[in-house]
Amino acid sequence: MKTALIIGSTGLIGGHLTQKLINHPAYSKVKALVRKPLSFQHPKLEQIIVDFDHLDTSLVVADDIFCCLGTTMKQAGSKEAFYKVDFTYPFEIAKAALKNGARQYFIVTAMGANANSVFYYNRVKGEIERSLTDLHFPTLVVFQPSLLLGERKESRAGEGMASVIMKGLDFLIPAKYKAIKGETVANAMITIAQRGHKGKKIVTSAEMQSFASITPITL
């Protein structure tokens, strides 16, 4: 069996993914790099309290790495702080993981990620995709969801309004632009992780929608 390591386990996608990882028979251990303890415990879950600005890279050891880190400009407070969360931390962890023998790296970016975008958010998402590609992981899978649906710990008023509008107009919206549940993204991540894909793969929001109703695995 494998060991998984997740960063961003307290977020919308990461919360669902952590639960799915600890209940999946492919993994004997799940490591979560966190700033403070999670609100639950599990025999398979190892919570590792870290300072991401001064990370001990020897802690980044696992077969499969799942990155669900992400913030907004409002939450971060500045472009520099946003860049740390959405580029620096995922990239430094990827470098350490690869050096320590990880084989697969899975990351959530966003639909519209483009290193040449005029929009800062999309540009940073594109830059992390490009930099991870240059590391040449045996397996790199990038998940590009559209607007995310689900209960967050923090309020995002703009997303809330957008999700209401998109739900109402769902029948008019092309598949790749439809809002998607955070749990559906988590389903796609854990399912694709078991397929042994080689090289780089980009998973679009439309493709992720097909994982909306997979049968949950429990122990």
DSSP state of 148: E
Instruction: Express each pLDDT in 112-143 by its tens digit.
Output: 999 999 999 999 999 999 999 999 999 999 99
In a domain, 214, yes or no: no
CATH number of residue 162's parent domain: 3.40.50.720
Q: Is the pLDDT of residue 36 over 80?
A: yes
Instruction: Express each pLDDT in 168-179 by its tens digit.
Output: 555 545 566 678
In a domain, 215, yes or no: no
Query: What is the pTM for the complete model shown?
Result: 0.88
Q: How many CB atoms lie within 10 A of CB 159?
A: 16
Q: Higher model confidence: residue 70 or residue 214?
A: 70
What pLDDT is attached to residue 178?
79
What pLDDT is attached to residue 43?
95
In a domain, 48, yes or no: yes
What pLDDT is attached to residue 170?
55
Has 79 been annotated as catalytic? no
Has 105 been annotated as catalytic? no
CB 122 within 8 A of CB 86: no
What pLDDT is attached to residue 213?
72
What average pLDDT does the segment 151-157 reach? Answer: 53
What average pLDDT does the segment 12-41 reach? Answer: 95
In a domain, 218, yes or no: no
Please give the Cα distance from 94 to 96 (Å, whole number). Answer: 5
In a domain, 216, yes or no: no
What pLDDT is attached to residue 165?
45
Percentage of the residues of the chain whose pLDDT score is greater than 90: 76
Structural domain count, the chain: 1
CB 142 within 8 A of CB 154: no
In a domain, 217, yes or no: no
CB proximity list for 65: less than 8 A, separation 6 or greater:
4, 5, 6, 7, 93, 94, 97, 102, 104, 105, 106
Q: Is the pLDDT of residue 41 over 50?
A: yes
Instruction: Express each pLDDT in 50-94 by its tens digit.
Output: 999 999 999 999 999 999 999 888 999 999 999 999 999 999 999
In a domain, 219, yes or no: no
Q: Which domain holds residue 77?
A: 2-208
Active-site hit among 20, 31, 84, 125: 125
DSSP state of 31: E
What is the pLDDT of the chain when averaged over all its residues? 89
In a domain, 16, yes or no: yes
Active-site hit among 121, 176, 177, 200: 121
